[in-house]
A and B are shown apart, each in its own frame.
Chain A
Amino acid sequence: MSGHSSFQSNNAIINWIEYRLPIFGFINDSLVVYPTPKNLNYWWNMGSLAGVMLVLQIVTGIILAMHYTPHADLAFASTEHIMRDVNYGWMMRYMHANGGSMFFIVVYIHIFRGMYYGSYKAPRELLWWLGIIIFILMMATAFMGYVLPWGQMSFWGATVITNLFSAVPLVGEEIVAWLWGGFAVAQPTLNRFYSLHYLLPFVIFAVVFIHLWALHVHKSNNPLGIDIKGPQDTIPFHPYYTVKDLYGMGIFGIIFAWLLFFAPNLLGEPDNYIPANPLVTPTHIVPEWYFLPFYAILRAVPDKLFGVIAMFASLFILFALPWLDTSKVRSARFRPVYKMLFWAFFINCFVLGYIGGKPAEGIFIIVGRLSTVLYFLFFLVLPFIGWFERPRKLPESISTAVLESSGGGGSSDGAPDGAAAKAEDRG
């Protein structure tokens, strides 16, 4: 994949393997000596955290699949069986359900970080695209997973979301019947969702691998958004970023553990502890929190087809972001106008999320519509910002900026310059 490796070992067995399958060189090049910008902040922890969450979801998911029964008559009971009877079943299920939420939190921060620091810009457009594909796959996986406990929210969430496709002109009803395998969400639907819910994480895993492949071609972006100009701008991934990632993981683990052990139902819906009933819709149905902004956009449009189009557009417009942003400067640190716009967009996403969780009535409708307009307005004004905005002066290089900000004024004698100085020795 990467070019000739600089990896060398004195161990005869490792060399024997390396000659036939250069796996140690690959690991060494991509995780050990891998040159990483020396100025990454903690927002760059999210990528590895997301990777850890994916693995955790797969592990807990495979365990749950050992005890769960994908049948309309048994699914709810088998979920409760996991909760009450299976050894540590409660922990596996809560870990999986809350793990999904934590995975989304991490990925949302990862996406916002990419937007703030312009990580989607050339030459990382395909990296960005692969990220959106992972995000869409995650949403599909999470949606189908939520259906499996076969509670009221599972059932009606599945009904509403699959019905989105009935908005397709001419063949909408046929598509929905095809998705359901019947005339309503029922046993065939549950069974196929289970099958696909098991499959998709492995597809995500594959796309993550391609995402990393693309990442490692031009390396990580950084808070300054300027290119790596030479070895003096980088430090090896290990031990600097392995340690930083592990530290962040510890903090993350504390938050996750709090949610898992002290508030495992905080992000869930009580209605999902009522078994699915195809004849009664809960009075207030809401999707999981991570879908709420998109749900708010769906409901903001008073027309079925256009509501569905707006919802999908709000997601797919992210693909166009690298070309909608006409500025050559990546990081918002040097873009005063974009920076304000970004924070407005960020806050607006929370407003949409709040509205998505509220009933569609009164003031919530008006705010929801306004917020939806603002969401798309961000993408519409973005091309013009790049033309009139006067970015602040960019630093000469990552290395000079790091030395200046650490107060060393270019001298590498001071203690705070330790890491930077070491890296320069390497160069």
Chain B
Amino acid sequence: MADSTGGDAHDPSRRDFLYVAAAGLGVVGTAGFVWPLVDQMNPSQDVLALSSIEVDISSIEVGQSITVSWRGKPVFIRHRTEEEIAKAKAVAMTDLPDPESDQARAEKPEWLILVGVCTHLGCVPLGQAGEYNGWFCPCHGSHYDTSGRIRKGPAPTNLPVPAYVFLDDSNIKIG
């Protein structure tokens, strides 16, 4: 007994192991304690539950748009004109900072559905404005085309298209 404790005190590998194990467990324990303190700020369950809405689009005439609120954000639903669709399709991919075809962005070409939040710093862009007659963000001057794709200005990506399905010809479900 006596010589084994004496041996322990002078055995660097065993003592080091104890230090490392104790410190390691301390770090894991602290991290485990801190995580709930951090995670409580993430979206809560009731906020996450409000994830989809249904919209009746039958009353939107050609050339009209409506803005609906989805997850606290504006969503633009635009009934595009033939001219707008043609313009959006005619754009060469090489002209786009964030290349995406119009077909990929609009399931039915006449209906364009976008999250109306500028991808720069989150302002709501103005419709049928800007150099490409799509959307224009007044905050920092980003120009989007008739497909909601970024063409000019500080925004890095296109206006996002939310997940949506056509329930029938006049109703869509967003989210």
- Work out how many contacts link A and B, with CB atoms closer than 8 A: 90
Name the segment of A136-144, A155-163, A314-322, A329-337 touching the other chain.
Answer: A155-163
Which residue of chain B has its CB nearest to the CB of A361? B141
Which residue of chain B has its CB nearest to the CB of A158? B122
Alpha-carbon distance A184/B70, docked complex (angstroms)? 10
Name the segment of B4-12, B26-34, B55-63, B150-158 touching the other chain.
Answer: B150-158
Alpha-carbon distance A305/B138, docked complex (angstroms)? 19
Alpha-carbon distance A163/B73, docked complex (angstroms)? 14
Q: Are A182 and B121 in contact (CB under 8 A)?
A: no
Name the segment of A223-231, A277-285, A381-389, A413-421 touching the other chain.
Answer: A277-285
Q: Judge if B64 is at the interface, Cβ distance under 8 Å.
A: no
Interface class of chain B by DSSP: loop
Q: Are A299 and B44 in contact (CB under 8 A)?
A: no
Q: Are A281 and B139 in contact (CB under 8 A)?
A: yes
Interface residues of B in 86-136 (CB under 8 A from A): 116-117, 119-124
Alpha-carbon distance A260/B141, docked complex (angstroms)? 35
Q: Judge if A268 is at the interface, Cβ distance under 8 Å.
A: no
Q: Are A305 and B121 in contact (CB under 8 A)?
A: no
Which residue of chain B has its CB nearest to the CB of A161? B121
B residues near A185, Cβ cutoff 8 Å: 72
Q: Judge if A192 is at the interface, Cβ distance under 8 Å.
A: yes
Question: If A281-B138, A281-B139, A299-B140 touch, does A304 touch B155 (CB 8 Å cutoff)?
Answer: yes
Q: Are B42 and A159 in contact (CB under 8 A)?
A: no
A residues near B116, Cβ cutoff 8 Å: 279
Alpha-carbon distance A163/B120, docked complex (angstroms)? 8
Question: If A163-B121, A303-B154, A304-B154 touch, does A184 touch B141 (CB 8 Å cutoff)?
Answer: no
Interface residues of B in 38-54 (CB under 8 A from A): 38, 41-44, 47
Q: Judge if A3 is at the interface, Cβ distance under 8 Å.
A: no
Q: Judge if A179 is at the interface, Cβ distance under 8 Å.
A: yes
* Cβ 8 A contact of A285, one of B72, B74, B123, B153: B123
Alpha-carbon distance A278/B75, docked complex (angstroms)? 11
Q: Judge if B67 is at the interface, Cβ distance under 8 Å.
A: yes
Alpha-carbon distance A373/B173, docked complex (angstroms)? 48
Chain B residues within 8 Å of A, Cβ to Cβ = 38, 41-44, 47, 67, 69, 71-74, 116-117, 119-124, 137-141, 153-156
Q: Can you give 13 A-B contacts (C-beta < 8 A)?
A: A159-B123, A177-B43, A178-B42, A180-B43, A182-B47, A278-B73, A281-B123, A281-B124, A299-B154, A301-B154, A302-B153, A303-B156, A304-B156
Interchain residue pairs A-B with the least CB separation, the first 10: A184-B72, A163-B122, A183-B71, A163-B121, A281-B123, A281-B124, A160-B121, A159-B122, A360-B141, A279-B74
